[in-house]
């Protein structure tokens, strides 16, 4: 990490939503490495719901299914913030493999007003944009595909 300006993390679970993904442990290791190398900024891709509830009946279902990974992400984010790092939390809706589109919506401090899912490439696009834009520092941004 030494010599870099920002860390970008897209860590997640490949074990399924019921498994402990140990993100809190990885977040602690990342925070320690950032402190040791004096890198101050991180973009952390989590999931919609990490900052609170997802509205509607389907949202309640998703929050229940993703309870463990969301708690794990929250613990990692808390560790990063406790280290005094500049944290941008990215909260995408369900990911899909459709082609990149930059026609997505960004919502601060609340659920996404976009559609149900968003292409992974669009999430990557947003994260690269956020790296370059200091206005996203210490924010939590929900992103979703613009409804048509």
Tens digits of residue pLDDT in 119-137: 999 999 999 999 999 999 9
Tokens of residue 112, six digits: 């996404």
Give 25's pLDDT tier (boundaries 50, 70, 90).
confident
120 phi/psi in degrees, rounded to 5: -55, -40
The percentage of residues in the chain with a pLDDT greater than 70, rounded to a whole number, is: 94
Q: Which residues contact 101 (CB under 8 A, 6 or more apart)?
A: 119, 121, 122, 145
Across-strand partners of 87? Answer: 42
Lowest mean pLDDT among 8-22, 36-50, 95-109: 8-22
Global model pTM greater than 0.85: yes
Tokens of residue 86, six digits: 């500049």
The yes-or-no verdict on residue 141 having pLDDT over 90 is yes
What sign results for the dihedral spanned by CA atoms 18, 120, 91, 133?
positive
CB 54 within 8 A of CB 110: no
How many angstroms separate the CA atoms of 34 and 6, rounded? 9
CA distances from 44 to 91, 119, 130, 147 (A): 9, 17, 11, 25
**Residue found by looking up tokens 């993100």 in the block:** 23
């Amino acid at each position: 990490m030494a010599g870099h300006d920002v860390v970008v993390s897209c860590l997640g679970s490949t074990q399924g939503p019921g498994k402990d993904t140990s993100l809190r442990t990885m977040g602690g290791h990342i925070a320690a490495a950032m402190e040791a190398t004096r890198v101050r900024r991180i973009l952390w891709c989590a999931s919609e719901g990490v900052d609170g509830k997802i509205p509607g009946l389907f949202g309640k279902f998703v929050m229940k299914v993703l309870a463990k990974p969301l708690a794990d992400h929250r613990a990692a984010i808390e560790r990063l913030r406790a280290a005094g790092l500049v944290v941008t939390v990215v909260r995408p809706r369900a990911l899909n493999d459709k082609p990149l589109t930059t026609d997505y919506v960004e919502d601060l401090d609340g659920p996404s007003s976009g559609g149900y899912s968003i292409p992974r490439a669009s999430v990557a696009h947003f994260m690269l944009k956020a790296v370059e834009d200091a206005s996203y520092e210490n924010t939590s941004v929900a992103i979703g595909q613009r409804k048509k």
